[in-house]
Amino acid sequence: MAPVEVRDLSKRFGSVLAVNNLSFDIEAGRVTGFLGPNGAGKSTTLRALLGLVRPTTGTATFGGLRYEELERPSEQVGAVLEDASFHPGRTARNHLRVLAVIGDHPFERVDAVLEDVGLTEAADRRAGGFSMGMKQRLGIAAALLGDPEVLILDEPTNGLDPPGIAWMRGVVREQASRGRAVLISSHLLAEVAQSVDDVVVIARGELRGQGTLEAVLGGDEGLSTLVRAQDNDRLVRALRAAGHTVQSLGDGLLVPGVSPEQVGVVAGDAGIYLVHLAAQARSLEQAFFALTGEPTT
């Protein structure tokens, strides 16, 4: 049984279907990127997983148990959500001490996680005066307090500076190396591509791809063709009729997974004059956009 299992999960808010029949697993010892554009349903899925949102249908479980059924949740799941906040008048140390008491963890763990996230010197400062980066670090410290089997991070790089992003990458890789399952959501592929092993890609609440990063999005060596015709609209129709995917890219067209020769044959057969034809390595972003239907320009 996978540490995290999402099965046929749907969530409807009034007339809006935020998540539609979503199923995926997260494996131990791996970092899984949960990717999709803003509004794709990532946060809703994570909140359903954490028992904060009630699924309309389907289940989201940890080792077969819903979050609210976990005996000692902080030892099984650590989570940092996008809107994680702290009482502004409480110090970082006291915030963690409250969580330590509720989770039945010794106060020594508080000092340990404060050191792990580099907040020892700021431990007795009130959280209301913390920068965004310090709040993210405090959130991570809270999530790590119970040394959980599963770590869930919702858009963890938001508001972080480059050193902060690098630090975050180190944290997730270190957790995975210790056998923890890490699920990290982001709408920015570039910020997580270097740290994830697997990806789950969603858009408009639906699963668009799941597997290793290479299997789902391909490498940066993936072949594509960049083409521009006198009549781009006719060429799009011809390429689509030939079974190819076409994306708009500037004033030209990107045809993923197809060589320039193949594109030239389609154009020649349709009697379309080309003004530019070149091979182009497909980037991760372009593959991501192709999956999610986001514009590439």
One residue of 70, 188, 236, 242 binding another protein per CB under 8 A: 70
Location of structure tokens 């940092």: 80
Helix (H) or strand (E) holding 253: strand 252-256
Q: Interface with another protein includes 49 (CB under 8 A)?
A: no
Location of structure tokens 């410290």: 141
- Please give the size of the binding site for another protein, defined by CB under 8 A: 34
One residue of 42, 47, 169, 180 binding another protein per CB under 8 A: 47
Stretch that binds another protein, among 90-98, 129-137, 159-167, 240-248 (CB under 8 A): 90-98
Instruction: Tell me the one-letter amino acid at 107.
Output: F
CB environment 21-39: b (16+ within 10 A), e (fewer): ebebbbeeebbbbbbbbee
One residue of 16, 101, 215, 281 binding another protein per CB under 8 A: 101
Q: Interface with another protein includes 52 (CB under 8 A)?
A: yes
Stretch that binds another protein, among 49-57, 110-118, 167-175, 236-244 (CB under 8 A): 49-57
Q: Interface with another protein includes 85 (CB under 8 A)?
A: yes
Exposed, middle or buried by CB within 10 Å (0-12, 13-18, 19+), for 255?
A: buried
Neighbour tally for 208: CB within 10 Å? 19
Residues ≥6 apart with Cβ < 8 Å to 118: 137, 167
Stretch that binds another protein, among 77-85, 110-118, 176-184, 210-218 (CB under 8 A): 77-85
Q: Give, as ranges, the residues between 15 and 44 that touch another protein (CB under 8 A).
A: 43-44
Q: Interface with another protein includes 50 (CB under 8 A)?
A: yes
Exposed, middle or buried by CB within 10 Å (0-12, 13-18, 19+), for 177?
A: exposed
Which is closer to another protein, CB of 6 or CB of 81? 81
What distance in Å separates the CA atoms of residue 178 and residue 165, rounded to the nearest whole number?
20
State the minimum distance, in angstroms, from the CB of residue 168 to another protein.
19
Q: Interface with another protein includes 170 (CB under 8 A)?
A: no
Which is closer to another protein, CB of 53 or CB of 181? 53
One residue of 14, 89, 243, 271 binding another protein per CB under 8 A: 89
DSSP annotation string for 158-193 = TT--HHHHHHHHHHHHHHHHTT-EEEEEES-HHHHT
Location of structure tokens 């999960």: 9
Q: Which residues bind another protein (CB under 8 A)?
A: 13, 43-44, 47, 50-54, 67-68, 70, 73-74, 79, 81, 83-91, 94, 97-99, 101-104, 142
